[in-house]
Amino acid sequence: MTEQDVALAARGIGVSFGGTSVLRNVDVDIMAGEIHGLVGENGAGKSTLGKVLGGYYTASTGTLDVFGERVETWGPPEALARGVAIMHQELQLVPALTVAQNVFLGIEEQRSGILRHTENIRLLALMEESGFHLNSEDRAGTLSIADRQKVEILRALARDARVIVMDEPTSSLGRDQIDHLHGTMCNLRDSGRTVIYVSHFLDDILEVTDQITVLRDGDLVQTVETKTQTKVDLVSSMLGSETATTPFPKKYRSAKPAATPLLEVYDLCSPFGVNGVDLTIGAGEIVGLAGLVGAGRTEIARALIGADPSTGTVTLDGTPFEARTPARATDRGLVLVPEDRRKQGLVMTMPARANLTLPHLRRFSQRGILSSRRERTQAEETIKTFQVRPASVDGDISRYSGGNQQKILIGKWLVDGPKAVIFDEPSRGVDVGARQLIHEAIAELAARGVGVLLISSEIEEVLGVAHRACLVDRGRIKQQVMTAEVTPADVLQQLFKFQSDSSLDVFA
C-alpha cells in the first residue's frame, strides 16, 4: 500500500453554494489503482466531494494535486485532459445519438473537420478490451439505465481515463446488474485505474472498495481501510455517535390489514409492457411489487393511474375507474409518487410550497383564487413532519439534496388524504434517516386505512415494509408471497428463476 502513487491529493477542500457551505476543509488522498468509497448521509457532501475530484465543481478553497501536479483551473475539460472522468448520478448522454456516437462524442476521428465514421469499429475494439457488450447502433435514449451507465463508463475509457468518479451508480440497478458493475470496477482497478465510488449503499461500498472516506455534514470524519470496517462502524461514524441505530430501517406494520378490497385490478394491459395484471389491495394494506430491472413494475403503476393508455378494469373503493387519466386518478384519490423526482416528480422552477400543494390546488383556493396563508400553513406542517432541510416554505428546491427533494415529493402527495398511494422507489438515493421517515409515513398511511402499493428494487425494502409482495416478471404477477414468511434470498432466487424460465420461452 505504501508504495502506491497518489492519484488525487486534495487539501483543505471547501465548497459553498449561495453562501451555504456544503464542504469544509476536507483532506483526502486517492491512491492510484484503488477503489475508493465516499460515504455519508444525504447532504453530508459525498456527492459534492466526488464532483470536485471529478472536475465537475470547482472548490471554493483548497488545493488539488493530480498525479503529483498542482492544478490551477479545474473543470471537466481539464479533468479529462489529466485522465479524470466522472459518471453522473443523472446520466448525461445525447439520447438521439447512437451508443458509438455517444462514446466518442467530441473525440471522433476526423480529417479537416470531416468525420470518418470510424466510431463503430473503435467501439468494438473498446468493448472487446473492457468486456462490456452493447449494440453500437442503438440510440442512447432507448437504452435501460443500466446500459446507459455502461455507455458512460465506455465513454470514460475511450478518453483513456485513469480515474473514474461514479456518483451513485447503482441507485437504479437491480442486484444482478450491481454485481456486474462491481465486477467492472474490479477490472478497472486490476488494469491500474482508480475508481471513486460514491454511494449510500454501505453493503456495496464494503463489498468492493479498498479505502473508504466518511463525511458528515460537510466535514471529513476519516479515511479508513475497508477491511477494518463493518456496516455498524460506518453507520456510527456517518451519524457521529456510537448509539447509531441499525443500518436497516425498523420494520413497520399496521396492526391488521383490513379484508375489504380497496383497489381491484383485473387484466391490466398497456403497450409499454404490462401484460395482464390481476391485483387486489385491501384498505390499510401495503402490497409490494418486487422484480428485476425491466420487469414492468413502473409501467404497472403508470397504467393504473392512467399516465399510460391501458386496458383492463380497475375498481377503486367499490366503483369502477374508467377512462383513466392522472387528473381523474388524483380526483378519485389514487396517486403515484413517481420514481424520478427531477423529471416526473418536482417542478424545480417553483418553491417548496408550490410543489407541496400542486396536486391539491382546489383545496387551497376559493373560486380559483389561492389562499397563500393556508398554503404556507400546510407547507410548514409538511416540512416539519418530514424534517425537510432547509425548513423554508419558499426554499429553492433545485438546490436541495436528493433526500430532502424526496421528502418534498412524498410530502406533496400526503397533504390531501388519498385513498390509495403508489410509491415508486420511495427511498432511492436517500440516507438512513430520511429512509426511516419515509417508511414511517408509509406505515402511518396504511394504519389510517389507505391502500399502498410499494415498488422497490430493494427486496429488503419490499419485505421490510409490505405485508404482501407480488413478484413481477415481464409485466405479469407471477407469484404472491406473505412477506413475513420469506427471506430476501428466497425472493431473489425466485425472480431469477422466472427470468431464466422466460428466456427459455424465447427458444421454445
Partner 1 sequence: MTYVPVLRFCQTYAVLIMIVLLVIALTLLSDSFLTVPNLLNILNQNAPLAIMAAAMTLVIIAGGFDLSVGSIFAVGAVCSAWLALNVNPYFGLLMAPVVGLLLGLMNGIVITALNVHSFLATIATSLIFKGAAIVISDGRLIPVRMDAFTWIGRGKLGGVFLSIWVLLVFALILTFVLTRTSFGRKVLAVGGNADAAILSGIRANRVRIATFAIAGLAAGLASAIATSRISMGQASAGTGFELQAIAAVILGGTSIFGGVGAVWRSVAGVFLLALINNGFNILNADPFYRDLTTGLVILAAIGISSAGKKRDH
Stretch that binds partner 1, among 43-51, 129-137, 277-285, 359-367 (CB under 8 A): 359-367
- Residue for grid cell 409482495: 469
Task: Supply φ then ψ for residue 339, to 5 degrees.
Answer: -80, -30
**Smallest separation, CB 365 to partner 1 (Å):** 4
Q: Is the torsion defined by CA of 300, 306, 310, 314 positive or negative? A: positive
Q: How many residues bind partner 1 (CB under 8 A)?
A: 36
**Smallest separation, CB 305 to partner 1 (Å):** 8
361 forms part of the interface with partner 1 (CB under 8 A): yes
Nearer CB in complex with partner 1: 260/349:
349
Q: Of residues 274, 354, 408, 469, which one binds partner 1 by CB under 8 A? A: 354
The upper half-sphere exposure of residue 50, i.e. CA atoms within 13 Å in the direction of its Cβ, equals 33
Nine cell digits for residue 266: 383485473
First-to-last alpha carbon distance for the chain, in angstroms, is 53
DSSP string, 16-77: EETTEEEEEEEEEEEETT-EEEEE-STTSSHHHHHHHHTTSS--SEEEEEETTEE-SS-SHH
Nearer CB in complex with partner 1: 325/377:
325
Q: Of residues 40, 284, 294, 338, which one binds partner 1 by CB under 8 A? A: 338
Q: Of residues 236, 365, 385, 494, which one binds partner 1 by CB under 8 A? A: 365
14 forms part of the interface with partner 1 (CB under 8 A): no
DSSP label at residue 342? I
- Which residues, at least 6 apart from 55, have a Cβ–Cβ distance to it below 8 Å? 74, 75, 76, 78, 79, 80, 84, 86
Element (H, E) at 118: none
368 forms part of the interface with partner 1 (CB under 8 A): yes
Nearer CB in complex with partner 1: 115/327:
327
Binders of partner 1 in range 250-309 (CB under 8 A): 305, 307
Q: Of residues 140, 198, 265, 336, which one binds partner 1 by CB under 8 A? A: 336
Query: Distance between CA 203 and CA 225 in Å, rounded?
Result: 15
Whether the link from the prior residue into 390 is cis, omega within 30° of 0, is: yes
Stretch that binds partner 1, among 202-210, 233-241, 316-324, 358-366 (CB under 8 A): 358-366
**Smallest separation, CB 101 to partner 1 (Å):** 21
7 contacts 211 by C-beta, under 8 angstroms = no
**Smallest separation, CB 292 to partner 1 (Å):** 25
270 contacts 309 by C-beta, under 8 angstroms = yes
Nearer CB in complex with partner 1: 189/302:
302
386 forms part of the interface with partner 1 (CB under 8 A): no
Q: What is the binding site for partner 1 (CB under 8 A)? A: 16, 18-19, 305, 307, 325-327, 329-331, 335-336, 338, 343-350, 354, 357-359, 361-362, 364-365, 368-370, 372, 398, 412
